A and B are shown apart, each in its own frame.
Chain A
């Protein structure tokens, strides 16, 4: 992404830094999101590695139980909120405006605000390591373990407040993408011609703006309990711990789909390109995505099958949960049908997408096994569940994210990543991943609970735990190779050209890296795979998704036409530091809330208000630098 910086022709180092700090360009913000999230991904990976080393043999004392508890609590929180979600946001940022044929997102400065707020939340959470210790109550933070009685330190406060801050960032970003996708599509791009990745982003954004308020309520209750002596979850005053669990999982289950739907979107882009076929069953993939998003709201209590809800609730949530297998299955069948009869090029992005499907099937089926509540009573809170979540979130989301990185890297940077390295990375990841997580099914079914800092020698879990730890190091080897490839390719990678993969969607029609304004002229879209149709004119007339009012002569007409104006003035939003100031106010308020320093809350709040006011008063477009 350095090449984006170069494109700005900044003179000195500090100019470059200032350029990035004040940027409102969606591509640069996407790069910031990606790099930051990848750093957090590696922090979460280090936490996981320490846990795996501790559990490699029985009765080890590499880390104390207290540290171990912090490691798994922070690992879960980090991977979900600081790695997978913002890696998804990186793709939204870089790709969505390009795919819908727009020059930026709808609210460029709000976009910058999202990023800076995300960064503030991530730093707030991780600073707890140096300020008395991180969260030690699990990423789900079940009350009453999070109450002051059992958890007097600040770890829980850091966690709760950082999630509030991160929630602000996610909500702002989600609103931004909803408006961008709904309002800023190129002429002719009806909803039925919208790329699947864009569709999944829309669904995810709607889930974010509906699910995050729920966790926000829960977190505010928790913070009020801890900071101001309220009794929402105080069992001694009649509070109910199950209130927390319901609120948490009402958010928590849609959150799972917030993590996986972007991955499904990426895979739905990659498979057709490397199979040279359109996505099979496009409307069914879209509708099953919507169905998953809606049904995700009806299944939360399957995280609570063992809390004693009684047979009626357990029956209802068992049935709603297994029903989700239907739209999920539809997606998988359609992906398989996309590959079927195609002409497959097994480049690295394709390998990771194929790996996603292969692994996601395993995760889906183990999910079915514990959707069934009676047998889940034996699996709940064991390593079987750990295996399942990693098959959907690593075998699923992370595989797809790597697929997306290899796929769009040439578009974002103008250079290709090295194929040989990429393939080795894929195989190391595939093998390491299965070595690490497949045996977790075994130890789980053989009775190993999750979240235990150690176990006795006689339990029979030693061998597979050692295998899991070895697997973790194979994954690490893959990640290191990926990093090397990434940074080397930034400078020395083969020049990609506009369209290295024979792409189908609009982003491949423009230069790599895209100019700041993306599209010199806004394209007019006539089909679902507009760029493909342009390169390979349809021999027999109407391409799929083409409007029925324009039959017949479509072959003569390029699918990517351009808007008619010839002397168009391109409006580029000017840089602004107010989003950063506004986010800084949130960070100050956050730290104050952690330490219950009330004046600080007002100072932070005032700074945020001041930032917002100045942001509002600032002219959006300065007329000297937007002419092209």
Chain B
């Protein structure tokens, strides 16, 4: 069989086409919780629109070059008894052409790139909107609202349509603050206070995750961002500012006693309005109102709380709580249950 130009042309279209089709069919899943194809805020939109510009430019370049290349492979097989082909050493005009052409494409791509870049990274001195201080720890997130007087952990609330400036601090290693559907990430670096602005345009619950390798439990350092309507946000702030709700049931009262006493939870955790003033672990004043526990890795329910309090090291290896719970502090299953009931009641 002598492959001729038609076969070569078909291969040149089909082979690169497989990759383009595979990319779009396999890759485009905007509904996934951390998909960057769904942008619900202006920063994410800028990045997504820019991605598509570059993606399609790259795809056109890919199809053309890969197509010509595949065509050449199929078009020019060696046949028996052929004389030596012309020993072409180059072509100056072609060289100049394919040096300048990509340069022009790149120059065109550079325009929207630089424009988006300054809109995202040029944070004005006067920060309009809401300010939130983020403090990343191995392996959880602390959120402080300096103007509202709210401190919480692993679940950040933001009002819809408002520009939010996150100031990022770390007291230990480097982390990276990332809420994919709202926008790209920014690293959280000790001795640097980076500022990133994000805005949520659709109320809803968004997934966040630490994106810079930060040690043993890096995979378990996630969080949630909740974009509220302004009314819901105000309600949330008011609730967060209130002291912790008192223990209601018998189990919760037992749990509270354990929390303050035998469990020694107060050494690390704060529950506003009580003697618990620890600052090593997350603030638990309203932990019952959060949707997840242990930095976004499990839904916040009784069963998971019991699991967590029984064996924090098994769920999140290397975390500080695991150095005491089950070691110097041993709790019975009943005590764990009571403690979980108390913690869950901290709405």
Identify which of A280, A315, A439 contacts B117 (C-beta below 8 A): A315
Contact call A326/B27, Cβ cutoff below 8 A:
no
Contact call B54/A369, Cβ cutoff below 8 A:
yes
Within 8 A of A (CB), among B153-203: 168, 172-174, 176, 178, 180, 183-187, 189-192, 194-196
Contact call A341/B86, Cβ cutoff below 8 A:
yes
| Residue B5 is within 8 A (CB to CB) of chain A in the complex | no
How close is B113's CB to chain A, nearest CB, in angstroms? 5
| Residue A612 is within 8 A (CB to CB) of chain B in the complex | no
Binds A, one of B65-73, B223-231, B242-250, B332-340: B65-73
| Residue A544 is within 8 A (CB to CB) of chain B in the complex | yes
Within 8 A of A (CB), among B87-132: 87-91, 94-95, 98-99, 102-103, 106, 109-110, 113-114, 116-118, 120-122
Contact call B88/A278, Cβ cutoff below 8 A:
yes
Which residues on the A side are within 8 Å of B204 (C-beta)?
A: none
Binds B, one of A36-44, A64-72, A176-184: A64-72
Within 8 A of B (CB), among A535-591: 536, 538, 543-544
Q: How far is the CA of A24 from the CA of B75 in the complex (A)?
A: 47
Which residues on the A side are within 8 Å of B109 (C-beta)?
A: 322, 372
Q: How far is the CA of A58 from the CA of B118 in the complex (A)?
A: 38
Contact call A459/B32, Cβ cutoff below 8 A:
yes
Within 8 A of B (CB), among A222-246: 235, 238-242
Contact call B219/A453, Cβ cutoff below 8 A:
yes
Contact call A144/B174, Cβ cutoff below 8 A:
yes
| Residue A340 is within 8 A (CB to CB) of chain B in the complex | yes
Flag A251-291 by CB within 8 Å of B: 1 or 0 each: 00000000000000000000000011110111110000000
Q: How far is the CA of A379 from the CA of B120 in the complex (A)?
A: 15
Which residues on the B side are within 8 Å of A66 (C-beta)?
A: 216, 317-318
Contact call B317/A373, Cβ cutoff below 8 A:
no
Which residues on the B side are within 8 Å of A445 (C-beta)?
A: 27, 35-37
Count residues of A near B (Cβ-Cβ below 8 Å): 99
How close is B326's CB to chain A, nearest CB, in angstroms? 17
How close is B6's CB to chain A, nearest CB, in angstroms? 18
| Residue A323 is within 8 A (CB to CB) of chain B in the complex | yes
Contact call B117/A373, Cβ cutoff below 8 A:
yes
Contact call B66/A361, Cβ cutoff below 8 A:
yes
How close is B4's CB to chain A, nearest CB, in angstroms? 14
Which residues on the B side are within 8 Å of A137 (C-beta)?
A: 213, 215
Which residues on the A side are within 8 Å of B121 (C-beta)?
A: 310-311, 314, 374
| Residue B149 is within 8 A (CB to CB) of chain A in the complex | no
Interface residues on B, range: 35 or more
Identify which of A334, A372, A377, A456 contacts B185 (C-beta below 8 A): A377
Which residues on the A side are within 8 Å of B27 (C-beta)?
A: 441-442, 445-446
Binds B, one of A77-85, A197-205, A213-221, A343-351: A343-351
Contact call B85/A342, Cβ cutoff below 8 A:
yes
Which residues on the A side are within 8 Å of B37 (C-beta)?
A: 445-446
Contact call B78/A378, Cβ cutoff below 8 A:
no
Identify which of A306, A323, A375, A446 contacts B51 (C-beta below 8 A): A375
Contact call B117/A365, Cβ cutoff below 8 A:
no
Q: How far is the CA of A342 from the CA of B209 in the complex (A)?
A: 52
Identify which of B73, B86, B88, B103 contacts A326 (C-beta below 8 A): B103
| Residue B269 is within 8 A (CB to CB) of chain A in the complex | no
Contact call B90/A325, Cβ cutoff below 8 A:
no
Q: How far is the CA of A365 from the CA of B23 in the complex (A)?
A: 13
Which residues on the A side are within 8 Å of B190 (C-beta)?
A: 144, 235, 241
Contact call B50/A446, Cβ cutoff below 8 A:
no
| Residue A145 is within 8 A (CB to CB) of chain B in the complex | yes
How close is A454's CB to chain B, nearest CB, in angstroms? 5
| Residue B26 is within 8 A (CB to CB) of chain A in the complex | yes
Flag A41-80 by CB within 8 Å of B: 1 or 0 each: 0000000000000000000000011100100000000000
Which residues on the A side are within 8 Å of B137 (C-beta)?
A: none
Which residues on the B side are within 8 Å of A212 (C-beta)?
A: none
Flag A362-392 by CB within 8 Å of B: 1 or 0 each: 1001101100111111111110000000000
Flag B231-260 by CB within 8 Å of A: 1 or 0 each: 000000000000000000000000000000
Closest B residue to A61 using CB positions: B314
| Residue A406 is within 8 A (CB to CB) of chain B in the complex | no
| Residue A626 is within 8 A (CB to CB) of chain B in the complex | no
Which residues on the A side are within 8 Å of B66 (C-beta)?
A: 358, 361
Q: How far is the CA of A66 from the CA of B217 in the complex (A)?
A: 8
Within 8 A of A (CB), among B29-60: 29, 31-37, 44, 46-48, 50-51, 54-55, 58
Which residues on the B side are within 8 Å of A333 (C-beta)?
A: 65, 94, 98
Contact call B186/A278, Cβ cutoff below 8 A:
no
How close is A295's CB to chain B, nearest CB, in angstroms? 13
| Residue A510 is within 8 A (CB to CB) of chain B in the complex | no
| Residue B77 is within 8 A (CB to CB) of chain A in the complex | yes
Which residues on the A side are within 8 Å of B116 (C-beta)?
A: 374-375
| Residue A106 is within 8 A (CB to CB) of chain B in the complex | no
Which residues on the B side are within 8 Å of A154 (C-beta)?
A: none
| Residue B267 is within 8 A (CB to CB) of chain A in the complex | no
Contact call A374/B176, Cβ cutoff below 8 A:
no
Supplied contacts A241-B189, A277-B86, A339-B72, 9 more A-B pairs, CB within 8 Å: A280-B89, A282-B89, A325-B102, A330-B98, A369-B55, A375-B51, A377-B120, A450-B213, A464-B26
27 contacts between A and B (CB under 8 A): A65-B216, A142-B174, A144-B190, A145-B213, A306-B186, A310-B121, A326-B103, A339-B73, A344-B73, A344-B76, A344-B78, A365-B61, A373-B113, A374-B47, A375-B51, A377-B186, A378-B44, A442-B26, A442-B27, A442-B29, A446-B37, A449-B210, A450-B213, A452-B219, A454-B219, A460-B31, A544-B89
| Chain A residues within CB distance 8 Å of chain B | 64-66, 69, 136-138, 142, 144-145, 150, 235, 238-242, 275-278, 280-284, 306-308, 310-311, 314-315, 318-319, 322-323, 325-326, 329-330, 332-334, 336-337, 339-346, 354, 357-358, 361-362, 365-366, 368-369, 372-382, 438-439, 441-442, 445-456, 458-461, 464, 536, 538, 543-544
| Chain B residues within CB distance 8 Å of chain A | 19, 22-23, 26-27, 29, 31-37, 44, 46-48, 50-51, 54-55, 58, 61-62, 65-66, 68-70, 72-73, 76-79, 82, 84-91, 94-95, 98-99, 102-103, 106, 109-110, 113-114, 116-118, 120-122, 138, 168, 172-174, 176, 178, 180, 183-187, 189-192, 194-196, 207, 209-220, 297, 317-318
The 5 closest A-B pairs by CB, nearest first: A377-B184, A447-B34, A308-B194, A452-B219, A343-B78
